[in-house]
C-alpha cells in the first residue's frame, strides 16, 4: 500500500513551523503529503498585514494563501484550504464533513495535527480535536459520507509554540537534517510572521541535540518533536 501523510493545520503557517521538516522528509522518501488548512489565520495570525493601510480580510486571505502555496511547493506537499475562519475556529457539521471527506478520499497512513491543549490559542487544540473526530468518523461504516471507511492511521501531535504551557510531552523525534534547508526556505515564505523564523530554527536545533542524546545518532543536527495519541502495536520490543 502506498504510504501517505495527511496534515491538518489550523492556520496557513502552522504546518510549516511545526512539521515542515517532517513533510519534506516524507516527500523526499516518495510519500504523498496533503496539507489541509482549516483557515487562513486572517484575523489572529496576520498582525503585520493589518498594519498596512487599507487592508481587508479578503486581501489578507489572498496573501496568506499565496504564502502557504509557495511553502507547500517547496516542501513537496499538495495543499487545500477550507476557509473555516479563525479567532475563533468553530466546529460546524459542514467543517467536520469536509474533514471526513478528506480522510476517506486521501486515506492517510499517518496523520499530523495540533496538540490538544493551548491556553494561548484556542484554534490550535480545536483543529487537533477536529482531526481526531474526523479520523474516528471516517472509520464508521454508517457515517453518511462517500468513500470507503479508513483503517487506523496513527496520529502525531506537533509541537505547540510554548510546549511547557500546553502539557506537551514529546515521545517521537524526526530527524529533519537532510530537509532543513527546505524547511528554512518554506518558513521564509511566511513573510507575515517573519518574527517566527529564528524561533523555529533554534527549536529545530535544540530538538536535534535531544535526538542525538536519545538515539546516539551523531549525524542528527535538526529535528522536530511529536506526541503520539494512540499506542503503537509492535511484534517485539527489540
Report how far apart, in Å, the C-alpha atoms of 225 and of each of 84, 164, 172, 201 are.
27, 13, 6, 13
Residue 237 in any domain: the answer is no
Residue 233 in any domain: the answer is no
Q: Using one digit for the tens of pLDDT, what is the confidence trace for 41-89? A: 999 999 999 999 999 999 999 999 999 999 999 999 999 999 999 999 9
Is 1's pLDDT higher than 70? no
How many other C-beta atoms lie within 10 A of the C-beta of residue 93?
A: 7
Q: Using one digit for the tens of pLDDT, what is the confidence trace for 228-238? A: 999 999 999 99
Cell matching residue 10? 489550523
Residue 22 in any domain: the answer is yes
Residue 194 in any domain: the answer is yes
In sequence order, what DSSP letters do the residues of 181-225 get, joined into one string?
HHHHHHHHH-GGGGGGHHHHHHHHHHHHHHHHHHH--TT---EEE
Question: What is the Cα–Cα distance from 72 to 88, expressed in whole angstroms?
Answer: 24
Q: Using one digit for the tens of pLDDT, what is the confidence trace for 113-172? A: 999 999 999 999 999 999 999 999 999 999 999 999 999 999 999 999 999 999 999 999
Residue 168 in any domain: the answer is yes
Which residue range(s) make up the domain with 185? 4-228
Domain count along the chain? 1
Say which CATH number the domain at 184 has.
3.40.50.10320
Residue 176 in any domain: the answer is yes
**Cβ contacts of residue 54 below 8 Å, gap of 6+?**
none
Is 198's pLDDT higher than 80? yes
- Nearest CA to 88 out of 11, 175, 172 is that of 11
Residue 201 in any domain: the answer is yes
Amino acid at each position: 500500500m502506498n504510504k501517505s501523510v495527511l496534515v491538518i493545520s489550523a492556520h496557513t503557517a502552522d504546518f510549516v513551523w511545526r512539521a515542515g521538516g517532517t513533510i519534506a522528509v516524507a516527500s523526499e522518501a516518495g510519500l504523498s503529503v496533503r496539507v489541509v488548512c482549516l483557515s487562513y489565520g486572517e484575523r489572529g495570525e496576520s498582525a503585520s498585514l493589518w498594519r498596512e493601510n487599507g487592508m481587508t480580510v479578503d486581501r489578507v486571505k489572498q496573501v496568506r494563501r499565496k504564502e502557504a502555496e509557495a511553502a507547500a511547493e517547496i516542501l513537496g506537499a499538495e495543499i487545500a484550504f477550507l476557509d473555516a475562519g479563525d479567532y475563533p475556529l468553530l466546529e460546524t457539521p459542514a467543517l467536520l464533513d469536509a474533514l471526513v471527506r478528506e480522510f476517506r478520499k486521501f486515506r492517510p497512513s499517518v496523520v499530523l495535527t495540533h496538540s490538544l491543549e493551548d491556553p494561548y490559542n484556542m484554534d490550535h487544540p480545536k483543529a487537533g480535536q477536529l482531526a481526531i473526530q474526523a479520523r474516528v468518523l471516517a472509520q464508521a461504516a454508517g457515517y453518511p459520507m462517500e468513500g470507503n471507511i479508513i483503517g487506523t492511521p496513527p496520529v502525531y501531535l506537533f509541537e505547540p509554540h510554548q510546549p511547557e504551557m500546553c502539557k506537551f510531552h514529546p515521545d517521537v523525534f524526526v530527524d529533519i537534517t537532510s530537509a532543513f534547508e527546505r524547511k528554512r526556505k518554506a518558513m521564509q515564505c511566511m513573510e507575515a510572521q517573519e518574527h517566527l523564523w529564528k524561533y523555529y530554527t533554534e527549536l529545530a536545533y535544540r530538538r536535534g541535540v535531544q535526538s542525538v542524546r536519545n538515539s546516539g545518532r551523531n549525524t542528527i543536527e535538526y529535528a522536530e518533536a511529536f506526541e503520539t495519541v494512540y499506542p503503537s502495536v509492535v511484534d517485539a520490543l527489540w
